[in-house]
């Protein structure tokens, strides 16, 4: 397998002091709490999709999360595309309400669309979380760069409608790695500095069970990109398949196990539904290992 050298123009990202992402230092594992304001998200659709329930859940998540990830469009396989105006209506007011309620935690907007990101950033978001790695909407990179926002670039093979139809890779780890190299270059070219880029292998986005497990076993490879690594495995189907939990909402223990395994490979940001449970597990894991988790 040909070696992957770290591109010279990124070496600085490795030698510079580990950057803060959306104001969060990367010196300890961080939790990204998921706030889906959708009627159809795969595990919690319809639970937090009204302004009052979204605000209440966002405040509860903020207790145990370092950053809140707000999404107005489900990306589950076969999900319907949400019109831009509706996705804005679902997300920007919730961000504004969280800020008005004094929730100061960094916020990311989980969207592929520039107009949705623009409204969210104007309402107080700090980061764009794009499952399409800035490749769906050509304007999103510029919106992110001009706002000085951080960005998460995630790998997906195909789009939500078709991505699980028999996905194939030559070598899933290296193919995902090479894709992310190309997307980081695109983000740098759009004026987003390396210090504001996070990468994510995209568990469940065009991957079979075997592909997901190969990515989880090889997560440490992605540190070679020189950017913080984010993992979003929480409650996903492979956890149900292996753990025997058909209902997504019953996959908390398996999700925590995967989060701890990822932390063991140095993953810096864990995107989770069950923030309080994951935080508790992280504290015990660190204590048993004699590691200092650091304080909020
Ligand atoms: N960076 C990143 N973002 C993501 N956004 C959504 C989902 C899907 O999970 P969820 O938001 O719970 O479901 P839905 O897309 O149905 O709302 N997974 C990821 C992920 O793995 N990484």
* pLDDT single digits (tens) 126-185: 999 999 999 999 999 999 999 999 999 999 998 888 888 889 999 999 999 999 999 999
The residue nearest atom 3 of ligand 1, judged by CA position, is: 131
Q: What percent of the chain has pLDDT over 70?
A: 93
Residue 20, pLDDT score: 81
Mean pLDDT of 270-276: 97
More confident residue, 77 or 109: 109
Statement: residue 10 has pLDDT above 90: no
Atom of ligand 1 nearest to the CA of 232: 21
d(CA 22, CA 38): 24
pLDDT value, residue 1: 59
Instruction: Convert the pLDDT of each residue in 236-255 to its tens digit.
Output: 999 999 999 999 999 999 99
CB proximity list for 62: less than 8 A, separation 6 or greater = 33, 68, 98, 103, 105
| Residue 35 dihedral angles phi and psi, to the nearest 5° | -120, 95
* 235 CA to centre of ligand 1 in angstroms: 10
Task: Tell me, yes or no, if 113 is annotated catalytic.
Answer: no
CB-based burial label for 13 (10 Å; 0-12, 13-18, 19+): buried
What integer is the mean pLDDT of 272-293?
Answer: 92
pLDDT at 3: 65
Q: Which residue ranges have their beta carbon within 6 Å of ligand 1?
A: 34, 36, 38, 41-43, 71, 74-76, 110, 129, 131, 152, 154, 200, 202-203, 230, 232, 271
Three-state secondary structure string covering the chain: CCCCCCCHHHHHHHHCCCCEECCEECCCCEEEEEEECCCCCCCCCCCCCCHHHHHHHHHHHHHHCCEEEEECCCCCCCCCCCCHHHHHHHHHHHHHHHHHCCCCCCEEEECCCHHHHHHHHHHCCCEEEECCCCCCCCCHHHHHHHHCCEEEEECCCCCCCCCCCCCCCCCHHHHHHHHHHHHHHHHHHCCCCHHHEEEECCCCCCCCHHHHHHHHHCHHHHHHHCCCEEECCCCCHHHHHHHCCCCHHHCHHHHHHHHHHHHHCCCCEEEECCHHHHHHHHHHHHHHCCCCCCCC
Average pLDDT over residues 58-63: 96
Could you tell me how far CA 59 lies from the centroid of its own chain? 19
Which pLDDT tens digit goes with each residue over 62-105? 999 999 999 999 998 878 889 999 999 999 999 999 999 999 99
Residue nearest to atom 18 of ligand 1 (CA): 232
Residue 101, pLDDT score: 95
Q: Whose CA is nearest to atom 6 of ligand 1?
A: 75
**Rounded to an integer, what distance in angstroms lies between the CA atom of residue 180 and that of residue 166?**
21
User: Which carries the bigger pLDDT value, residue 218 or residue 20?
Assistant: 218
Q: Which of 47, 68, 69, 71 has the most ligand 1 atoms within 8 A of CB, as the residue to mutate?
A: 71
Q: Is the pLDDT of residue 22 over 90?
A: no
- Give percent of the chain above pLDDT 90: 77
Whether 271 is catalytic: yes
Mutation test of ligand 1: which of 65, 75, 90, 107 has the most ligand atoms closer than 8 Å to its C-beta? Answer: 75
Residues 6+ apart with CB under 8 A from 94: 35, 37, 51, 54, 55, 58, 70
Give per-residue pLDDT as tens, 201-220: 999 999 999 999 999 999 99
208: CA distance to ligand 1 center in Å? Answer: 16
Mutate to test the pocket of ligand 1, among 39, 67, 110, 203 (most ligand atoms within 8 A of CB): 110
Q: How far is C-alpha 43 from the chain's CA centre?
A: 16
For range 275-284, the mean pLDDT:
97
Under 8 Å between Cβ of 269 and 30 = yes
């Amino acid at each position: 397998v040909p070696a992957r050298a770290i591109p010279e123009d990124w070496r600085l990202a490795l030698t510079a002091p580990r950057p803060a992402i959306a104001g969060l230092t990367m010196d300890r594992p961080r939790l990204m709490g998921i706030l889906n304001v959708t009627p159809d998200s795969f595990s919690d659709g319809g639970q937090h999709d009204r302004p009052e329930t979204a605000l209440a859940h966002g405040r509860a998540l903020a207790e145990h999360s370092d950053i809140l990830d707000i999404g107005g469009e489900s990306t589950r396989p076969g999900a319907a595309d949400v019109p831009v105006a509706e996705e804005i209506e679902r997300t920007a007011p919730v961000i504004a309400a969280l800020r008005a309620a004094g929730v100061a935690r960094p916020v990311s907007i989980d969207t592929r669309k520039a107009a949705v990101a623009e409204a969210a950033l104007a309402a107080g978001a700090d980061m764009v979380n794009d499952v399409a790695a800035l490749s769906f909407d050509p304007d999103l990179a510029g919106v992110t760069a001009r706002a000085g926002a951080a960005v998460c670039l995630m790998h997906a093979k195909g789009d939500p409608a078709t991505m699980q139809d028999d996905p194939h890779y030559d070598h899933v780890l290296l193919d995902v790695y090479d894709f992310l190299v190309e997307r980081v270059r695109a983000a740098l070219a759009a004026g987003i500095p390396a210090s504001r880029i996070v990468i994510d292998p995209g568990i469940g986005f065009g991957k079979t069970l075997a592909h997901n497990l190969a990515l989880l076993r090889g997560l440490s490879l992605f540190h070679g990109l020189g950017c913080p690594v984010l993992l979003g495995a929480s409650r996903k189907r492979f956890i149900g398949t292996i753990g025997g939990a058909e209902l997504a909402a019953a996959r908390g223990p398996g999700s925590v196990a995967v989060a701890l395994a990822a932390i063991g490979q140095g993953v810096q940001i864990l995107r989770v539904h069950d923030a309080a449970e994951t935080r508790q597990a992280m504290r015990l894991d660190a204590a048993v290992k004699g590691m200092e988790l650091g304080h909020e």
